[in-house]
Amino acid sequence: QGNESRRTAIKNFSRVTHFLKDTLLGQNDMIPTTENSDRKLTPDISALIESFNSDFRESNNDGFEVIYKVDFKKLPDITRGQPFTLKDWQMSFDKDGRINDVNKVKERIFRGGLESISLRRDVWRFLLNYYPWASTYEERIEIAKQRKAEYFTMKVQWKSINEQQKQRNSLFRDRGSLIDKDVARTDRTHDYFAGENNVHLDILHDILMTYNMYNFDLGYVQGMNDLLSPILVTMEDEVDSFWCFVGLMSRMEHNFHLDQSHIKNQLGNLHTLLQFIDAELAKYLVENNASNMYFFFRWMLICFKREFSFDDVMYLWEVIWTDHICHNFELLICLSILISQKTVIMESKFGFTEILKVSPSFFFFEKVK
């Protein structure tokens, strides 16, 4: 029974994602409206809404607009493709070092991931905008030189601040103290960060302190250490890790703004999408005071970092970073997980508190791929 439940969950995950992929690519001719149509939606979500057909709208007696009922049994099973290999990567360049077909590379990564951590070390530099996709070999050599110099210039700036200066700059002092505390407890069960006097923790600390100088308006916020650690494990280089982290933060910086407006808007988008895909479950959440979708908050804040294994998180991130389907594919992942647990949630009469305890890793015993 347990194996069957896992197989069902994985199938539903792929089916929901496939359905939404077709919708986002304009291959689905249904268009719904929603009582929340005045909510500020991201361009991707707005595109999703516009791709439905108004002929499929109807209202029920409860005041909920039934958009379309997805029959999972009719949706095809989707399997992962083959991993993108070192040979595939090497064959992607022209004689000057430019990538011939960027979209093809991204699609291959999206469908199959990268085969090894050594390949990630190269490809992540592109996915995280350390190198422009259109750059040549010679241009990348120059970029690396410039970024190394820029990094150490910023590092010297904060390292040269003495204790007296720190006492007169409470913001810098408090951020440094927070970084010290968070670094000390970052992924200590992982071999790369285990043990006392671990040099990798020192590097993690220095990168976060330097980012605090690089983007002082935002500074350091708890959770950034979680986003940096997989990058450092992969890159194994302080400078490269810093600039890849900068690239990641350019995607996720809005998650760490104090007003939390972006995440709240994304949570709203999640419920809007759920109304389109599974009106019954959406209605259930409303009736159980869980329509704010706050049980997804941590998942969204640090992009599943604490929900899956370390290796699976790296695989998941590189798929998301391709932006192959849309720029917020993490929303579709959240929806797939939630819908796969619809029966458990509704039959067990879960409320907000119980749903909050749902963890993807609890239900998805198999690898995230």
219 lies in which domain range? 134-256
Residue 57 has a pLDDT of 42
Residues of the chain with pLDDT under 50: 1-3, 5-10, 21-40, 48-49, 51-61, 64-70, 365-366
Residue 105 has a pLDDT of 98
Residue 319 has a pLDDT of 95
Q: Are residues 188 and 141 both part of a single domain?
A: yes
Numbers of helices and strands, H then E, in the chain: 19, 2
Q: Give rounded-to-5 percent helix, strand, coil for the chain.
A: 60, 0, 35
- Measured in whole angstroms, the distance separating CA 58 from the mean position of its chain's CA atoms is 34
- Which amino acid is residue 304, in one-letter code? F
> Distance (Å, rounded) from C-alpha 56 to C-alpha 34?
12
Q: What is the total count of domains within the chain?
A: 2
Residue 245 domain flag: yes
Using CB atoms within 10 Å of the CB of residue 259, give its burial: 0 to 12 exposed, 13 to 18 middle, 19+ buried: exposed
Residue 220 domain flag: yes
Last residue of a domain, one of 214, 241, 256: 256
DSSP string covering 65-109: EE-----GGGSPP----PPBPHHHHHTTB-TTS-BS-HHHHHHHH
Answering whether pTM is above 0.85, one says: no
Residue 78 has a pLDDT of 67
- Containing 146, the helix (H) or strand (E) segment is helix 137-159
Q: Are residues 147 and 233 both part of a single domain?
A: yes
- Containing 47, the helix (H) or strand (E) segment is helix 43-50
Q: Which of 297, 319, 304 is nearest to 226 (CA)?
A: 304
- Which amino acid is residue 9, in one-letter code? A
**Model confidence pLDDT, tens digit, residues 189-241:** 999 999 999 999 999 999 999 999 999 999 999 999 999 999 999 999 999 99
Residue 58 has a pLDDT of 45
Last residue of a domain, one of 202, 231, 256: 256
Q: Calculate the CA dihedral of residues 244, 248, 254, 256 and round it to 10 degrees.
A: -70
Last residue of a domain, one of 256, 290, 321: 256
Neighbours of 185 (CB within 10 A): 10
Q: What's the CATH code of the domain at 222?
A: 1.10.8.270
